[in-house]
């Protein structure tokens, strides 16, 4: 399993449409949840940095599954494949990333995040076409459109996703009788 980054290296650091390029202070705006760890089946780059979660086609676009606690070893067959509830299969490794990294990746790669079985962040094709693409076209100078409203809506989307994830993480930890170290200081 890959460890959670300390946010010093991530695949989109040099990408002009990274959320941290659009909103340099967004991790601070999210608060401690930005650094909370999540677990996801996904792929790694050649330098062992998380690059994309495993996704499956769903009714609302691409769907990804995240966990608030490291799941127990998922049973894999002799070839490394595992089959989860609903027939979802993958041979991807388990990765540990932060909430901030999950939201940064979701913004660029256009998928919905399920955390502990709950949809906590939706990013469908309509959002991509109405927000991501016009902002990218303007940032890159391909076409100049008024993006101020879109930028406000994207920031609100990311912050709401972080709040949704915090609720699920806290509920999971409380159900397990564990302290939520990320959020104790914020109370």
- From the list 57, 55, 127, 67, the residue with the least C-alpha distance to 95 is 67
Q: Report d(CA 4, CA 109) in Å as an integer.
A: 19
pLDDT digits (tens, 9 = 90+) for 43-96: 888 777 888 999 999 888 899 999 998 887 778 888 989 888 788 888 999 999
Q: Which residues of 87-120 are buried (b: 16+ CB within 10 A; e: fewer)?
A: eeebebebbbbbbbbbbbbbbbbbbbbbbbeeeb
∠ CA 116-117-120 to the nearest 5 degrees? Answer: 80
Work out the end-to-end distance of the chain between its first and last CA atoms, rounded to an integer number of angstroms: 31
pLDDT at 55: 93
| Prediction pTM value | 0.88
The beta strands (E) that lie in 45-158 are given as 50-53, 55-58, 61-67, 82-83, 89-90, 94-98, 112-115, 118-121
Q: Report d(CA 68, CA 130) in Å as an integer.
A: 30
The DSSP line for 96-115 is: EEEHHHHHHHHHHHT-EEEE
Q: Which residues of 132-152 are buried (b: 16+ CB within 10 A; e: fewer)?
A: bbbbbebeeeeeeeebeebee
pLDDT digits (tens, 9 = 90+) for 127-185: 888 999 999 999 999 998 889 999 999 999 999 999 999 999 999 988 888 766 555 44
The model's confidence at residue 2, banded by pLDDT at 50, 70 and 90, is very low
């Amino acid at each position: 399993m890959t460890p959670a980054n300390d946010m010093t290296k991530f695949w989109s650091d040099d990408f002009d449409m990274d959320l941290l390029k659009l909103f340099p202070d967004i991790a601070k705006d999210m608060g401690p949840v930005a650094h909370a760890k999540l677990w996801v089946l996904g792929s790694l780059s050649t330098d062992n940095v998380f690059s994309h979660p495993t996704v499956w086609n769903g009714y609302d676009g691409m769907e990804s599954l995240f966990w608030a606690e490291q799941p127990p070893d998922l049973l894999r067959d002799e070839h490394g494949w595992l089959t989860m509830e609903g027939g979802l299969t993958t041979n991807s490794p388990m990765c540990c990333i932060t909430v901030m990294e999950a939201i940064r990746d979701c913004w660029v790669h256009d998928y919905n995040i399920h955390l502990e079985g709950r949809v906590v962040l939706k990013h469908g094709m309509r959002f991509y076409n109405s927000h991501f693409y016009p902002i990218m076209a303007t940032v890159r100078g391909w076409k100049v459109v008024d993006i101020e409203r879109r930028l406000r809506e994207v920031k609100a989307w990311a912050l709401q996703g972080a709040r949704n994830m915090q609720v699920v993480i806290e509920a999971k930890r409380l159900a397990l009788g564990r302290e939520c170290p990320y959020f104790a200081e914020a109370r």
